[in-house]
Chain A
Amino acid sequence: MGRNEAARARQTLFFKLSIRLGVVGVVFTLAQLLAVVWMYVNNPNELDQLLLTAEANRIADGIPLTPGGTGMVIQDDLKHPLAPNTRRAFVVHERSGQVIARYDDGDLRLADDPPASFLVIRTQRESWGDRFLLSGTRRVTISSHPYWITVAVSGQGFRPFIPVIYNEIRFHVVFPLILLSIMFLLSNFSVVRSTLKPLNAAIATVDRIDPAQISTRIEAPTTSWEVQALVAAVNRMLERIERSVVTLREFAGNAAHELRTPLAIMMLSIGKLPNSDEKSKLLEDAQGMRRLVDQMLDMSHATALEIDKGARADLCAIARTVVADLTPLAVARGRRIVFNDAGAPTIRGHDEAIGRALRNVIENGLAHTPKGTAVEVTAGPDRGYSVRDHGAGIPEEKRAKVLERFYRVDKSGTGGAGLGLAIVCTIMEAHGGHIRIEDAPGGGALIRLLFPDD
Chain B
Amino acid sequence: MRVLLAEDNVRLASLINDGLTEEGFALDWFATLDGAKEAAAAINYDIALLDLGMPDGDGIDFIRTIRRSGNPTPILVITARNGLDDRVRGLDSGADDYLVKPFEMPELAARCRALLRRPGACLGTTLTVANLEFDSAEREVRVSGIVIRVSPRELDLLEHLMRRVGHVVTKESLEEALYSLSADVTPNALEAAVSRLRRRLATAKAGVILHTAHGVGYMLTPKQPVCDNSIR
Contacts and interface: CB of A to CB of B under 8 A. Distances in A.
Contact of B104 (A267, A320, A326, A377): A267
B82 A327 contact: no
A271 B213 CA distance: 31
Contact of A338 (B81, B214, B231): B214
Nearest to A329: B231
A275 to B, nearest CB: 12
A331 B102 contact: no
Contacts of B167: 324, 328
Given A286-B102, A320-B216, A272 B12 contact: no
Given A249-B83, A324-B213, A350-B84, A290 B102 contact: yes
B88 interface: yes
A261 B213 contact: no
B168 A260 contact: no
A339 B83 contact: no
B201 to A, nearest CB: 16
A301 interface: yes
Interface in B1-44: 9, 11-12, 15-16, 18-19
Contact of B80 (A261, A323, A327): A261
Contacts of B230: 328
Nearest to B8: A261
Given A253-B81, A265-B15, A324 B102 contact: no
Interface residues of A, number: 52
B207 interface: no
Contacts of A298: 82
B228 A332 contact: yes
A324 B217 contact: yes
B87 interface: yes
Nearest to A291: B232
Contacts of B219: 327-328, 331
A339 B11 CA distance: 43
B211 A327 contact: yes
A352 B104 CA distance: 24
Interface in B189-232: 211, 213-217, 219, 221, 225, 228-232
B105 interface: yes
Contacts of B106: 271
B147 interface: no
Contacts of A63: none
B168 A266 contact: no
Contacts of B87: 352
B215 A341 contact: yes
Interface in A330-357: 331-332, 336-341, 350, 352-353, 356
Q: How large is the interface on B (under 10, 10 to 19, 20 to 34, 35 or more residues)?
A: 35 or more
Contacts of B16: 268
B213 A264 contact: no
Contact of A265 (B9, B84, B105, B225): B9
A125 interface: no
Interface in A49-69: none
Given A267-B103, A324-B216, A339-B216, A290 B168 contact: no
B72 interface: no
Nearest to B169: A324
A297 interface: yes
Nearest to B16: A268
B9 A320 contact: no
Nearest to A354: B84
Contacts of A337: 213-214
A272 B15 contact: yes
B216 A268 contact: no
A377 B214 CA distance: 10
Contacts of A260: 80, 100-102
Interface in B123-145: none
Contacts of B176: none
A325 interface: yes
A257 B100 CA distance: 10
B168 A327 contact: yes
A332 B102 contact: no
Given A266-B102, A268-B105, A297 B15 contact: no
A4 B11 CA distance: 65
Nearest to B100: A260
Interface in A265-319: 265-269, 271-272, 283, 286-287, 290-291, 294, 297-298, 301-302, 305
A49 B53 CA distance: 103
B85 interface: yes
Nearest to B18: A272
Given A260-B100, A352-B88, A331 B211 contact: yes
A363 interface: yes
A263 interface: yes
Contacts of A37: none
A263 B229 CA distance: 14
Most buried by B among A265, A326, A352, A363: A265
B170 interface: yes
23 contacts: A253-B81, A256-B81, A257-B80, A264-B103, A267-B104, A271-B106, A272-B18, A297-B82, A323-B215, A323-B216, A324-B216, A327-B211, A328-B219, A328-B221, A328-B228, A331-B219, A331-B221, A339-B214, A339-B216, A340-B214, A341-B215, A352-B88, A353-B84
Interface of A: 249, 252-253, 256-261, 263-269, 271-272, 283, 286-287, 290-291, 294, 297-298, 301-302, 305, 320, 323-329, 331-332, 336-341, 350, 352-353, 356, 363, 374, 377
Interface of B: 9, 11-12, 15-16, 18-19, 53, 80-85, 87-88, 100-106, 166-168, 170, 211, 213-217, 219, 221, 225, 228-232
Given A268-B16, A328-B166, 9 more contacts: A258-B80, A267-B103, A291-B232, A327-B216, A327-B219, A328-B219, A331-B225, A332-B228, A353-B84
Q: Which 4 A-B pairs have the closest CB atoms?
A: A339-B215, A324-B168, A264-B102, A329-B231
